[in-house]
Amino acid sequence: PAPSTACVAYSYGLGQDWAYEIELSGQCYTYAFDPTLFKKPNKLERYEGRQIDFHKIGLTADGRNFCHRGATEVRTKTLAGAMRHLGHSQVDVLKLSVDEAEWEVLVSLAGADSPLRTVSQMVAELHFHHVPMATALRALAVLEEQGFVLFSSSW
């Protein structure tokens, strides 16, 4: 569906906690992506009037499908692929909580034609415990190159 507000948000990685997306949907039309959920959470049913559009699609650097936990094949798209599919040329808010896949995705978003150039704000959960330092530094450099500035963090 077409957004009824000027604000568009993409939220990757939902799990069982939709509080952020529900709150965000009061301000922005929110596209919620999580390929690991087998069905829309029951608690979301009472928020159907809100501006939330659920997609059972994951985010990867290359858009290739993969097997989640060795069993279920997961459909994915790149950020640019999702934006093309949904007909968006910009995203106002991008949330990433993709369980350590964020590093590969962020590194893949380098370059002058990166869709990150069309993202106004990003909220990301970054997992530092299993990533090589060089990869983390490259991903953080990509964010800086794309004009992002860290304004809040917690450990």
Asked, for residue 84, whether it belongs to a domain, the answer is yes
Asked, for residue 152, whether it belongs to a domain, the answer is no
How deeply is 28 buried, as exposed, middle or buried, from its count of CB atoms within 10 A (0-12, 13-18, 19+)?
Answer: buried
Please give the chain's pLDDT, 155 residues, in tens. 454 457 999 999 887 778 889 889 888 999 999 887 765 555 555 555 678 888 888 898 888 777 766 657 778 899 999 999 999 999 999 999 888 788 999 999 988 899 999 999 999 988 888 889 999 999 999 999 999 998 887 76
Asked, for residue 1, whether it belongs to a domain, the answer is no
121, 94 in Cβ contact below 8 A?
yes
DSSP class of residue 13? -
Asked, for residue 43, whether it belongs to a domain, the answer is yes
36, 74 in Cβ contact below 8 A?
yes
The domain of 70 spans 17-146
Asked, for residue 130, whether it belongs to a domain, the answer is yes
Amino acid at site 17: D
**Cα separation, 148 vs 130, whole angstroms:** 23
How many distinct structural domains can be found in the chain? 1
